[in-house]
Structure 1
Amino acid sequence: MKKTLFALALAGTFAGAAHAQSNVTIYGLVDTGFIKETGSDVEMGNNHESRIGFKGTEDLGNGYKALFLLEKRINLNDGTNLGEVDWDGGANVGISGPFGTVRLGRVNELPTETLRTLDPFDNDSIANMPYSTQRSSRISNTVRYDSPNLSGFQIGATYTLGRNTRGSDANNAFVQAGADNDGYAGSILYNNGPVTLLGNWSRLDDSNNSYRWNLGGAYSWGKLRLSLAYEKTRDKGWRHGGESNSGADDSSLINGFKADMNSWLVGLNYVIGPGTLKASFNYVKLKDVRGVPAEDGGNYWADNSSADLKQYGLGYIYDLSKRTSLYGILAYTDFENEAISNFFRGSGYNEDSITGVQIGITHRF
């Protein structure tokens, strides 16, 4: 009898523990495939970043909930970390209620989170919208607020702590010279029925007060969705003690470069059969770029010079099921000159255009 009572009590204990954890969800995405681009060998790469995550909530009563998120991202082809941090995805804790939601920790950056919904390729793959130099998918040491959704209308805001090390020691010359600043952002989003409209402004931490803002929208007609976006970046970089990487004595030259960047995106999604056809056109104009050094120590960019790139993307996502899909993507990028190809592809890249093909498989769980 005692053994039976003990077994029942033990079972009740574990049942209670299981019930307490029933609000925790394990989720993830695995993706890999092959990429071939002009001037490069075939390599393995992804359309979406592979990840595993844990998220959950606890009901606090009176309409309030505690919540958390832990997400790790990896390169599926070799198992390495996707970024420099162990938990490159979100890692935060917060509270939600009638007022909205507040999260603390590592969170999605609002301008990137919202703008990528207008890119048919979700800011991923070889055909993604070219990155702003002030783009960051996720930001650390941040407080983020999201308002309640009122008939599709939401606002959001973030505040990010900078390093706050100005003058602390002699090894912080970059920071002492002006890079140390806190970051903040604001976002307005309307997403209701066939209409999506958005606007964002952000300043990343420790960016020497560089900033970016974007506007965009999308409209859906049945199986067709068209999107349009514009983004402006003013990159002041990090000051480098009054001397540029190219050796110029100019206090306005900052850790390699400064630049104005103007980006336009036109996108299309069209449902065909069991999948979706995706197409995009991106145009980027760079001007007033300074401090990008040539291999001989010179400077590719003259004062007030400018250059542009045009990128065309086409792809098809074939859904095998609700969770598994195959993809094929084609991208072509035309660089105006060698300077802008180096800016986006790295020093020593001398091609005036690049064609890429990508195929692979995605599974969500």
Structure 2
Amino acid sequence: MMKKKLIAVALTAGFTAPAAMADVTLYGFLQGGVESVKATGAAANGGNEYASRTRVSDQNSRLGFKGTEDLGNGTKAIWQIESSLRNFEQGGVNDVNQSATFGTRNTFVGLDNAELGTLRLGQYDSAYKVFTSKAADNLMGDTTADTHGSSSIAGRGEARLKNSVHYTTPNWNGFQAGVSYGVDEDRAADANDASRKTKRDRWSLGAAYTLGTLVIAAGYDRQADSAGYGGSTKTNGKKTAYWQLASSYKFDFGTTIAASYEKGSYGNTAGSDLKQSGYTVAVSQDIGAAVVGLSYNKLGNLSNAANPNDYAAKQWVLGARYNLSKSTSLYGYYTQIKNNAAAKVNFANNPLVVKAAAPNSDGSFNNNLSAGNKLTAIGAGLKIAF
């Protein structure tokens, strides 16, 4: 830790002299691997598929700086700047022509008090995401085989909120809670009435209780003026909402079991709200310096849709990690996602992308992998944390 702080201070000194913060830490990890991926099953219906190929993939690598300053009376000023290093293997530009930029991950200023809690202002993970993830046994998190994300099966209500305020309570004998509010600074036009402005602000609540190796968590997330499946349409008076229950427990002999249930509700301008539930079950086992895990994730029917079962999907993940040291590990995985006819679940990290013929105005390309595909990925790699 001391080496990290000395390096961070040296880097900071290159920009500001003298360094103002009393405690600055450099942290992050690099994680990359080789994998074989493909998406098949949509061509029969005229859809786009992803031809089988081998690729070298960054697995959600990141770099961050964080610091504190003691203000006295048990209060500290806190700050963090965290940047994505995703796609370092291709110069920081991903498959849809999006470039990594500074401060793209959790970046904030705030105050922390042991008795009053923590307040953050900036860009940060929602309380829904922070607390429900405490109970997840997501062994392959941050890899292509990650099961959590807004376009995945599990954790569809998770978000990193821009222009947001977050409060987290102190830890009261194992119980902790939080609330997030993301403001809508754009106030875009209503999809059905250009003369009206929407207010797509977002509230997020989360709580977790920890007793030894038992964790029980819950979350609720609500985005206003948001209609359609996934909340993609800006419409006054509608909302997208999620709630989730999750729990995990680790036995003395090294076995961890985890389960979660999540339900989403999507405002519908043409009738009753669309609703969809999903669940995940996972088990992992410690074997010396290694851990092996298996998970099954199921996304159910989309109720009140014309063909509810067409939106269902499921995912299997088999993965393992082997710790070479405290900061370096090897990993490997196999995962398969099976989408029904109208479902478009993709990998949370390194999604399979069939590029559009022409870019958007911002230079990016649409991810137009078709509904109904079966995606598979098998890979292995190395993670080095610092």
For Structure 1 versus Structure 2, the TM-score category normalised by the shorter chain is: 0.7 to 0.9
The number of aligned residues is 316
- CA-to-aligned-CA distance 1:33-52 (integer Å, 9 cap, x gap): 122123331122244x1111
CA contact (8 A) 2:137 2:257 kept: no
CA distance in 1 between counterparts of 2:194 and 2:126 reads 23
The match for 1:126 is 144
Matches within 5 A, 1:253-332: 259-288=274-303, 302=306, 304=308, 306-332=310-336
SS of 2:325's equivalent in the other structure is: coil
Superimposed CA distance per residue, residues 305-335 of structure 1 (whole angstroms, 9 cap, x where no aligned partner)? 5442221111111111100111100112233
> Which contiguous aligned blocks of 4+ residues in structure 1 show a shift greater than 4 angstroms?
17-20, 81-85, 171-179, 303-306, 343-348
Match of 2:111 in 1: 95
Post-superposition offset of 1:120: 2.1
Distance 1:108 1:219 in 2: 24
Distance 1:81 1:88 in 2: 14
2:265, 2:275 within 8 Å by CA — same for their partners in 1? yes
For residue 218 of structure 1, what is the aligned residue in structure 2? Answer: 248
Superposition pairs for residues 48-67 of structure 1, below 5 Å? 49-67=60-78
The match for 1:229 among 223, 248, 260 is 260
Distance 1:144 1:62, change over 3 A: same
Contact 2:202 2:222 in 1 (8 A): yes
How much has 1:274 moved relative to structure 2? 1.1
Equivalent-residue separation in structure 2 for 1:165 and 1:116 (angstroms): 30
State the Cα deviation string for residues 209-245 of structure 1 (Å, max 9, x = none): 21111001011102111101011112338xxxxxxxx
Q: 1:268 to 1:178 in 2, by over 3 A?
A: farther
Task: Check whether the contact 1:219–1:227 (CA below 8 A) recurs between aligned residues.
Answer: yes
Q: Within the alignment, does 1:160 sit opposite 2:182 as a pair? A: yes
Is the partner of 1:338 in helix, strand or coil? coil
CA contact (8 A) 2:260 2:281 kept: yes
Aligned residue for 1:330, secondary structure, equals strand
Deviates more, 1:121-130 or 1:220-229: 121-130
- Between the aligned partners of 2:274 and 2:92, the Cα distance in structure 1 is 32
Letter in 1 for 2:112: S
Provide closer, same or farther for how the CA distance between residues 174 and 150 of structure 1 changes in structure 2, counting only shifts above 3 A. Answer: farther
Change over 3 Å in CA distance of 1:178–1:74 after alignment to 2: same
Instruction: Describe how 1:178-197 pairs up with structure 2 within 5 A.
Output: 179-197=198-216
| Mapping of residues 245-256 of structure 1, within 5 Å | 251-252=269-270
Structure 2: 5+ residue stretches without partners: 1-12, 39-50, 227-237, 347-351, 353-366
Contact 1:119–1:265 (CA under 8 A) maintained in structure 2: no
1:115 aligned counterpart, secondary structure: helix
1:355 aligns with 2:376: yes
Q: Which residue of 1 aligns with 2:25?
A: 25
CA distance in 1, matches of 2:201, 2:164: 10
- Encode CA deviations 1:4-25: one digit per residue, 9 max, x unaligned: xxxxxxxxxx9xx879544111
Q: Say if 1:174 and 1:190 are closer, same or farther in 2 by CA, change over 3 A.
A: farther
- Which residue identity is paired with 2:54? V
- Preserved CA contact (<8 Å) 1:101 1:146: yes
Larger radius of gyration: 1
Alignment of 1:106 with 2:123, yes or no, is yes
CA distance in structure 2 between the aligned counterparts of 1:352 and 1:94, rounded to whole angstroms: 44
Alignment of 1:198-209 (within 5 A): 198-204=217-223, 207=226, 208-209=238-239
Structure 1 residue 110 displacement after superposition: 2.0
In structure 2, the CA distance between the partners of 1:305 and 1:316, relative to structure 1 (3 Å rule), is closer
Once the two structures are overlaid, the 10-residue window that deviates more, 346-355 or 209-218, is 346-355
Q: TM-score, normalised by structure 1?
A: 0.77
User: CA RMSD, aligned part only?
Assistant: 3.0
**Who is 1:146 aligned against?**
168
CA distance in 1, matches of 2:197, 2:139: 36
Equivalent position of 2:91 in the other structure: 79
Residue 101 of structure 1: how far off its partner (Å): 0.3
Q: How far is 1:152 from its partner?
A: 1.4
The corresponding residue for 2:358 is: none
Closer/same/farther in 2, CA of residues 130 and 106 from structure 1, 3 Å limit: closer
Q: Is the 8 A contact 1:119 1:128 kept in 2?
A: no
Structure 2 distance, partners of 1:175, 1:203, is 24
Provide the rounded CA distance (Å) in 1 between the counterparts of 2:213 and 2:224.
35
The range that moved more, 151-160 or 350-359, is: 350-359
